[in-house]
Amino acid sequence: MPQPYVLLSAAVSLDGYLDDTGPERLLLSGPADFDRVDEVRAASDAILIGAGTLRTDNPRLLVNSPERRAARVAAGLPEYPLKVTVTASGDLDATARFWHTGGEKVAYTTDKGAERLRALGLPADVDVVSVGPDLRWRAVLDHLGTVRGVRRLMVEGGGQVHTQLLRQGLADELQLAVAPLFVGQSDAPRMFGTGAYPGGPTSRLRLLETRPVGDIVLVRYAPTVPGTGGQPSAADRHWLDLACDLAAQCPPSRTAFSVGAVIVAADGTELARAHSREGDDPAAHAEEAALAKLDPADPRLANATVYSSLEPCARRSSRPSPCARLILDAGVRRVVTAWREPDTFVVGADGSALLAAEGADVVVLPEYEPRATAPNSHLLTP
């Protein structure tokens, strides 16, 4: 089971704050936006908040609409999404509404935090999961995906949690409800903290949608920055998905695979994309065609990632150099792929090994294999 799709959701003031410094929670959203949030919750398998938000806001985190709850049940889902919190300290109030409303709950914590939480007298249906001496987000997301079967995770704050997930390249999407007011208090909690973000300040996110909701504007963005080394980022999934889309656009062939490829710079800028047999060249491979669109001296290639729906070829008869060689010669040292090459045309092809032998990181995301093989199914039936 892959990691869940991670959606960061918050309402923010025009000056970027999540709340003010007063004792009561500042209501940034209006009724129409609260209803929108309810809809997003109902479409999620789990909703996560940090312990800071649990302590400060004491939220219930429910799906409020009876119709949406009924639709979940009719679809075979639990009435309420799983509620999730993270705490290192385990310093939480056992009477908080989070524990006593809705459906199942899980608290991810550290070894020390788990001791404290288990001594709190939480309701018996709360699952306390320690991920070790420190809380690692990848371990939390892996557990949610593999053990809890969560495919879509809505994260509802607060600032520390949003900042960590975004910085670690684990957020697939940001949903910001921008409220027409100013907080103006420098010590109020911000949506995102100071410090380095993936790709640096020149890196731009991809705009997915803007929509007025009452007097609020909903803005949806997706991060674009590739992961580093063998660690996949959420944006890696987006780019590989695009490579699979491109594979579906190839002119059909009985003698070659249909493959899509995208080359992306370290700041998330798309440098080139291509698919097999592009430009009426029956022998063109996707990675080769994408590289051919770039100046070989482009300095961005050294830190770029090549996304290819099928692993780059290690041997080919139609050209002097296979794609794995072309990628290495271009200076690229990171490749993300969905599907290892089967023996259909070349027995024992192992482009990944060729790349790895010369120091390239190859990341295989097998959850995309069905998308990569779909345009090639006529070549795979025995």
Ligand X SMILES: NC(=O)c1ccc[n+]([C@@H]2O[C@H](COP(=O)([O-])OP(=O)(O)OC[C@H]3O[C@@H](n4cnc5c(N)ncnc54)[C@H](OP(=O)(O)O)[C@@H]3O)[C@@H](O)[C@H]2O)c1
Q: Which residues form the interface with ligand X (CB under 6 A)?
A: 10-11, 18-19, 25, 28, 49-53, 56-57, 86-89, 91, 135, 156-161, 164, 189
In the bound state with ligand X, the residue whose beta carbon lies nearer, of 161 and 171, is: 161
For the bound state, the minimum distance from the C-beta of residue 132 to ligand X, rounded and expressed in Å, comes to 11
In the bound state with ligand X, the residue whose beta carbon lies nearer, of 4 and 159, is: 159
How far apart are the C-alpha atoms of 19 and 13, rounded to whole Å?
8
* Residue 355 · residue 336 · CB < 8 Å: no
Query: Degrees (nearest 5) of the Cα angle 235, 377, 3?
Result: 30
Token pair of 178 as six digits? 């921008």
In the bound state with ligand X, the residue whose beta carbon lies nearer, of 218 and 256, is: 218
CA 76 from centre of chain: 25
Token pair of 349 as six digits? 């092809």
* Residue 167 · residue 198 · CB < 8 Å: yes
For the bound state, the minimum distance from the C-beta of residue 115 to ligand X, rounded and expressed in Å, comes to 13
Phi, then psi, of 279 in degrees rounded to 5 = 65, 35
For the bound state, the minimum distance from the C-beta of residue 16 to ligand X, rounded and expressed in Å, comes to 11
Pairing mode, strands 305-310 and 260-264:
antiparallel
Please report the DSSP string for 117-158 in residue order.
HHTTT--TTEEEEE-SSS--HHHHHHHHHHTS--SEEEE---
For the bound state, the minimum distance from the C-beta of residue 135 to ligand X, rounded and expressed in Å, comes to 3
In the bound state with ligand X, the residue whose beta carbon lies nearer, of 130 and 233, is: 130
For the bound state, the minimum distance from the C-beta of residue 52 to ligand X, rounded and expressed in Å, comes to 2
For the bound state, the minimum distance from the C-beta of residue 5 to ligand X, rounded and expressed in Å, comes to 19
Phi, then psi, of 200 in degrees rounded to 5 = 75, 180
In the bound state with ligand X, the residue whose beta carbon lies nearer, of 25 and 300, is: 25
For the bound state, the minimum distance from the C-beta of residue 78 to ligand X, rounded and expressed in Å, comes to 23
Helix axes 31-42, 66-74, angle to 10 degrees: 10
In the bound state with ligand X, the residue whose beta carbon lies nearer, of 51 and 328, is: 51
In the bound state with ligand X, the residue whose beta carbon lies nearer, of 160 and 203, is: 160
